Structures are given as structure tokens and as C-alpha cells.
Amino acid sequence: MNTHEELHEKTLTAAKQEKLATLELLKFLLEVEDRRTYAVLGFPSMFKYVEEGLTYSPAQASDRVAAMRLLRKVPEIATQLERGTQTLTSVAKIASHVRRENLDGPSAQALVLATSNFTIQSLEKHLLSQSLVEPPKLERAKIISAELTRLTLDVEEEFMALVDRIRELRGNPALPLSEVFRHAMKEEIKKKEVKVQESRPAPFTTSVTEVRLDPNPNAGSPQPEAVPQTKTRTRYIRAKDRAITRKRAEKKCEYIHRKSGRRCGSRFGPQMEHVIPHAKGGSNTPENLKLYCPAHNRLAAIAEFGEAKMAPFLRMHLRENQTKPATHSV
């Protein structure tokens, strides 16, 4: 049996190895995002890749994605993590502050260096003292049983006034908050779905939705054919053809990773994708249309047009990612 001193030394070594492993993971995540590996493998976002592909909890995934993106902005974080003067948790909190305050690179770097060796409590107090923007409202979801999840929210007076109004309209001043939320969400979904179905789509313009990544992601599906170029051809996709495509896709991204067979399945921002691009004679029929999420539309654009031509659009997307929090459920 190890002496107490020997046990401490071995534990200390394990702790150092864990810190190095965390840094190595963040560096791998940087490359995964740069090369869009997450999208190739069928994930709609880095958050979903870390959560589902690497099997982290939502909170753990959010921290790692946030820390990775701050590492891109402030490379000095690598040394801080290696030395233990910053931790994954502290870096994630700093990343949240940097996004919220929209700090530039030098300011973010100064903040990282100024908070070296801070405890989490001291760091939180320091960030609050430096904040010019109202702190984010608390939003948490905790599973408390197989059927129930407890939500914790901070809301304004206007929010509670809306709750009271719904209770009045439903004729029950004691209507549980869960019923208020359920009613409001169902009505919102119903309204949005009807609007999507009934709205007349605008003429299709040249965009990343018109490029092909995989000519036949579903084995056995009919192969679309190019149609001759004519002066009367239009980019407009009929509402009927859009509806058929959405129904077939079940309103989910249809991208499939060939090797694993994983389908993306994201419902976020679905867009019409031409298997054979319109510019190359592809038709606007359902046989030549796929429903892709934004991540897989970008991936398709790169496959069709190349990295260099798409670089300005990709840099814009990267800047957007660095100025908003990771997307995940509360």
C-alpha cells in the first residue's frame, strides 16, 4: 500500500495529466471546427458534436466549446491551462464574459492574464465588477425524474404580466406555469408552421443552398437529371415542390455521413439544397432537392466551389460564432 505522501504524488501527477489532456482536447476541437469535421460526420454544430459525438453533458459541451473559441482568440490560454493558473471552468466563464461584452483580442488577453490563479468565486466577482452589460438571466434545466425536468428562470415583470394575461384568457387565475408555457409554445409553433406552409417563397438566389456535396446520400434513391439551360429557366422553387421535399425529409436535415450512416436530422434553419446545382442545369423538382441545415449547406458550398471562393462567407460565419454563445438547450 502506498504511503500518504506517495498517494499524494500519484494523485498530483494524475491532476497534471488531466490538465494537459484538457488542453489537448481543446486543440483538437479547434481543428475539428476549422476543418468542419463535425459537419462531415453529420452534426449540425460544434455543440452537438461535443455533446453527442463525444458524449459530454450539455453543460460540459458548452464549457468546452466556449473555452475552445476563446483559445482561438487568446492563444496564451494554452500556457495558463498547462500551468494550472486557469481552469476549464474559469476559461469558460471568461469566454462568456468576452462574448457578452464583445471584447476584442487584446482586451480578452488582458482579462485572462489579470485573473490568473483566481478562485471561481473571485473570478465571478471580478467579471461582475467589469461588466458593462446586464448579467445574463439564470436559466437551468435539471432532470428530477424519468418524466420531469425542473426549469429555473429569471424573468422580468413584463413576462409575469403575460403569464397573468394568459391565465385570464384561459379563465383560471391559478393555472400552473407549466400549462401556461405549454399553451403558449403550442400556439407559437402552430402559428409559425402555418406561416411557413402558406407563405409564398421568394425567388431563389445564388447561395450555398445550390451546391452539391453528395449526389446520392441515400442508397437506392432516384438520381436527378440535369435539364437543358434555357433563357426561361428560373431559380424559383414552387411551393408544392418545397412542401414535398419538407414532407419527405420530415423537416429535418437530410445530410448523411456515408461511412457511419449518421443522419444530421437538425431542425434548425432548414434550407433547400440542389443535388445538381441550378447553375449546372439542375432542376427545381423534389428529386433534385434536399433539405440541409446551415452547417451542411456551407459544407456543400465548399465541396462545390472550393475553400478559397467560400472563404469570405466562412470568415463571416466564424465571427458570428465568436460573438454569440454556443447553441444548446437550457
**Mean pLDDT computed over 36-53:** 95
d(CA 296, CA 159): 36
Confidence (pLDDT) at 248: 95
d(CA 160, CA 249): 38
Confidence (pLDDT) at 204: 41
d(CA 74, CA 67): 10
Confidence (pLDDT) at 320: 53
Using pLDDT thresholds of 50, 70 and 90, give the confidence band for residue 208.
very low
Q: Where are the domains of the chain?
A: 4-130, 139-198, 208-322
Backbone angles phi, psi at 114, to 5 degrees: -70, -25
Residue pointed to by grid coordinates 420530415: 250
With 90 as the cut, is the pLDDT of residue 195 above it? no
More confident residue, 114 or 144: 114
Confidence (pLDDT) at 263: 95
For residue 2, the 8-state DSSP code is: -
Confidence (pLDDT) at 217: 45
More confident residue, 257 or 232: 257
Confidence (pLDDT) at 279: 74
Reported residue count of the chain is: 330
Determine which of 27-41, 191-205, 245-259 has the lowest per-residue pLDDT on average: 191-205
Q: What's the chain's average pLDDT?
A: 83
- Judge residue 215's burial from the number of C-beta atoms within 10 Å of its C-beta, 0-12 exposed, 13-18 middle, 19 or more buried: exposed
**Mean pLDDT computed over 304-322:** 67
Confidence (pLDDT) at 328: 39
Beta carbons of 275 and 212 less than 8 angstroms apart:
yes
Using pLDDT thresholds of 50, 70 and 90, give the confidence band for residue 189.
confident
Beta carbons of 71 and 26 less than 8 angstroms apart:
yes
**Mean pLDDT computed over 288-297:** 92
d(CA 281, CA 138): 51
| Residues above pLDDT 70, as percent of the chain | 81
Beta carbons of 93 and 124 less than 8 angstroms apart:
yes
Confidence (pLDDT) at 308: 82
- Which letter, b or e, does each residue of 288-325 get, where b requires 16 or more Cβ atoms within 10 Å of its Cβ? bbbbbbbbbbbbbbbebeeeeebeeebeeeeeebeeeb
**Mean pLDDT computed over 86-111:** 95
DSSP string, 66-102: HHHHHHHH-TTHHHHHHHTSS-HHHHHHHHHHHHHHT
d(CA 86, CA 80): 5
d(CA 39, CA 264): 8
SS3 264: coil
**Mean pLDDT computed over 190-219:** 51
With 80 as the cut, is the pLDDT of residue 206 above it? no
With 50 as the cut, is the pLDDT of residue 209 above it? no
Determine which of 147-161, 174-188, 214-228 has the lowest per-residue pLDDT on average: 214-228
More confident residue, 270 or 75: 75
Using pLDDT thresholds of 50, 70 and 90, give the confidence band for residue 200.
very low
With 60 as the cut, is the pLDDT of residue 126 above it? yes
Confidence (pLDDT) at 170: 82
d(CA 250, CA 215): 20
